[in-house]
Amino acid sequence: MAGSDIPVNGTPALGSSGAAIQGTSAPDTVKILIAGGFGVGKTTMVGSVSEIVPLRTEERLTCASLGIDDLQGLAGKTATTVALDFGRITIGRDLVLYLFGTPGQQRFWFMWNDLAIGALGAVVLLDVRRPESSFAAIDFFERRGIPFVVGVNGFHGQHPYTPEEIRESLALPEGTQVLLCDARERESSRDVLIALLDELIAASAKASAS
Ligand SMILES: Nc1nc2c(ncn2[C@@H]2O[C@H](COP(=O)(O)OP(=O)(O)OP(=O)(O)O)[C@@H](O)[C@H]2O)c(=O)[nH]1
Ligand SMILES: [Mg+2]
């Protein structure tokens, strides 16, 4: 992990965005999950957008996973997340997002409850070729009332469906944001996070108005 400025007990260390060192107030920090099914590009997204070298907990996929992990369409995949990914991105001068990528394989889903503690929102990433692999993730956040946006990772840069078609086919609640993206591209991943932030701000404004 690229080290010294990793938060301890949820508090950003001095200098994580520079604000504390300059004597101004510390930045706000927000915990975001990057979730979704097996091999949809979660680790790739955290890595593309993080401004620190991300922490990864990946293990090699070996023949022991044959018959357990469905690698259809994932010919180049050699490793899988067994605990979490961790990255960080600073938005503007006073907002730091801590990004936690979840493990995708069903046998590790028990960790999602712990990873979700304190999370304000989530990106549910899906592989446009296998959207069903992220159904459980959508269900997870819907049940807990955690705001989320859907990032559609067009593997090989292909987006055969419009956001509206995807929203309908997933029967997502009205207003759920669906964004076409490329998890390998920093700007594309950042745009998905900004859409989620807009969602969180709107949810917070709605809550204070009621
Ligand atoms: N062509 C292409 N490959 C991608 C894209 N996103 C991810 N990959 C590749 O697909 C494989 C799976 O990506 P990961 O980021 O490991 O997916 P993951 O969701 O973290 O996987 P798990 O942790 O095992 O659930 C890797 O080999 C990536 O390099 C994409 O948009 N296009
Ligand atoms: Mg991963």
On whether the CB atoms of residues 179 and 123 are closer than 8 A, the answer is no
Atom of ligand 1 nearest to the CA of 103: 23
pTM for this predicted structure: 0.85
153's CB contacts (< 8 A; 6+ apart) are 40, 41, 45, 125, 126, 127, 128, 181, 182, 183
Confidence of residue 14 (pLDDT cuts 50, 70, 90): very low
93 or 32, which is more confident? 32
Q: What residues flank ligand 1, with Cβ below 6 Å?
A: 38-44, 74, 76-77, 80-81, 103-105, 153, 155-156, 182-184
| 143-198 per-position pLDDT tens digit | 999 999 999 999 888 999 999 999 999 999 888 999 999 999 999 999 999 999 99
CA–centroid distance, 39 to ligand 1, in Å, is 5
Whether residue 21 is contained in a domain is answered as no
Pick from 2-11, 25-34, 105-114, 120-129 the range whose average pLDDT is largest.
120-129
In sequence order, the 6+-apart residues with CB closer than 8 A to the CB of 115 are: 33, 84, 100, 102
22 within domain boundaries: no
Which of 77, 100, 108 to mutate for ligand 1's pocket (most ligand atoms within 8 Å of CB)? 77
Please tell me the distance between residue 197's alpha carbon and the centre of ligand 1 in angstroms. 24
19 within a domain of the structure (yes/no): no
Instruction: Determine the structural domain holding residue 34 and report its residue range.
Output: 28-209
The reply to whether 107 falls in a domain is yes
Is residue 111 included in any domain, yes or no? yes
The pLDDT value given to residue 207: 86
Distance (Å) from CA 105 to ligand 2 centroid: 9
Q: What is the pLDDT of residues 22-75, one digit of tens each?
A: 456 777 999 999 999 999 999 999 999 999 999 999 888 876 565 656 666 677
Helical pair 42-49 and 186-209, crossing angle rounded to 10 deg: 90
More confident call, 67 vs 76: 76
Are residues 27 and 21 in contact, defined by beta-carbon separation less than 8 angstroms? no
DSSP 1: -
Q: What is the CATH number of the domain that holds 136?
A: 3.40.50.300
Amino acid in the structure at residue 199: E
Task: Pick the more confident residue, 210 or 99.
Answer: 99
Q: DSSP per residue over 2-15, as a string?
A: --TTS-BTTBPPTT
Contacts of 208 (CB under 8 A, 6+ apart): none
State the closest ligand 1 atom to the C-alpha of 69, by its place in the atom list counted from 1: 24
What is the predicted pLDDT for the residue at 32?
98
Which is higher by pLDDT, 174 or 101? 101
**Residue 12 resides in a domain:** no
Reported as a single tens digit per residue, the pLDDT across 121-133 is: 999 999 999 999 9
Weakest mean pLDDT among 14-23, 27-36, 86-95: 14-23
Q: Domain total for the chain? A: 1
Residue 44 lies in a domain: yes
Residue 14 in domain: no
pLDDT at 11: 34
What's the gap in Å between 80 CA and the centre of ligand 1?
A: 9
The number of the ligand nearest the C-alpha atom of 107 reads 1
> Which residue puts its alpha carbon closest to atom 32 of ligand 1?
155
- Protein residues within 5 Å, CB atom, of ion ligand 2: 42-43, 81
Q: What is the radius of gyration, based on Cα positions, of the chain?
A: 17
Residue 2 pLDDT > 50, yes or no? no
Pairwise pLDDT comparison (108 vs 34), residue with the higher score: 34
Q: When comparing pLDDT for 116 and 20, which is higher?
A: 116
pLDDT for the residue numbered 12: 36
